[in-house]
Amino acid sequence: MFSKKISPNFCKKISIFFIFIILQSCGSWDPPDVKDSPINDADMRKRNIEEGRGITLGGKKGGSGNFDFATSNEMWRATLEILDFVPLSTADYGGGIIITDWYSDDLDSSESIKIMVNFLSNEIRADGIDVKVYKKICNQNSNCNTQLIKSNINNDIKLAVLKKAAQIKKQDGKKRAKDKNYDIVPSKE
């Protein structure tokens, strides 16, 4: 079918062409200077976002995508305190989610619940948190049925978290004010 032979000259030209294409696509590599690279994570995240390599949640840059660290976020701390009766399966602060393990208050019960809390904002407000409760019912053959339940427990957990977060914020504000007052008071000498 292909009775023509490919000339060695043609192979050389094709090889040179591909090598040229590969070398052109590489560009020049300029290694970054160590002193230009930020050391701490906050500076590195800020630089990445400024250079367009970061992601934001919820629209414009610098908006609702900024989350505090877990120890300073009242909503996160309040949720952990409210859900301290049940073991946690996942607590991902970066992803803004807490998922409990399956929980039943009766050891022989065929019913158990799992609670999932999504943080939509780090502000203390009702639309900044989403609570979902799942119910699992298992029969004797270990066949289980899982479903999302809509009940008052979702709103009860949400309300408890919001109240606790407001209390934590108030306590932290008082503590900061108290610490500032100690710094301002002159020493008696």
pLDDT tens sequence across 11-70: 788 888 878 777 766 666 566 666 666 666 667 667 666 666 654 444 444 444 554 555
| 47 in a structural domain | no
146, β-bridge pairs: 136
In angstroms, the Cα distances linking 51 to 47, 64, 113 are 6, 19, 44
The pLDDT score that the predictor gives to residue 182 is 60
| 185 in a structural domain | no
Q: 161, 75 in Cβ contact below 8 A? A: yes
| 18 in a structural domain | no
Q: 136, 154 in Cβ contact below 8 A? A: no
Residue of 152, 127, 115, 114 lying closest to 75 (CA atoms):
127
pLDDT > 50? residue 97? yes
The pLDDT score that the predictor gives to residue 174 is 82
Q: Give the three-state DSSP class for 28.
A: coil
| 61 in a structural domain | no
| 83 in a structural domain | yes
For the segment 138-165, the average pLDDT, to the nearest whole number, is 90
